[in-house]
Structure 1
Amino acid sequence: PGSKRGIKLTCRSMGWFPEPEVQWRDFQGLRLAPASETKRIEENGLFHVESSITVNTSSRADVSCVIRNLILSVEKEVHISMT
């Protein structure tokens, strides 16, 4: 009773330079706050990023993870749809 059920989603990517920005977005494109986020520099000098979010299973669970390099105008996006 009173507990929320959820699914943890993790978005992970490596090989970025300079440091990228990670965003979670809902089905309307609105930004969602991550539960956790880590960024580290690998031995080769490139960035490894990992971000997680917990999605409530009782609500509409269409989310996207977007990793962006604003300087180079590079963006990678993955869309997750759970029904």
Structure 2
Amino acid sequence: MHAGFERLSRLAKLESLSLSFNNFDNSILSSFKELSSLKYLYLNNNQLEGSIDTKEFDSLSNLEKLSLARNKIQDFVASTGIN
């Protein structure tokens, strides 16, 4: 979990979160796992890069909009959890 974001899990009813223009890297993605009510997540204009594992968003079952524009993401991969 990204340092300082461990308290996000207390916001169980949070529906919209904008963290754009913050220079966050990929480590921020694990911070949203407890936000199952989240409908809108804006992470554009950060430092997300490379391959993004779609499992990072599995727990966000109510997510309607995910904005990742203007990052350095190359692709999305779906891990199976099997080694």
* Same topology, TM > 0.5: no
Larger radius of gyration: 1
Larger proportion of strand: 1
Larger proportion of helix: 2
Q: Which range, TM-score by smaller chain? A: under 0.3
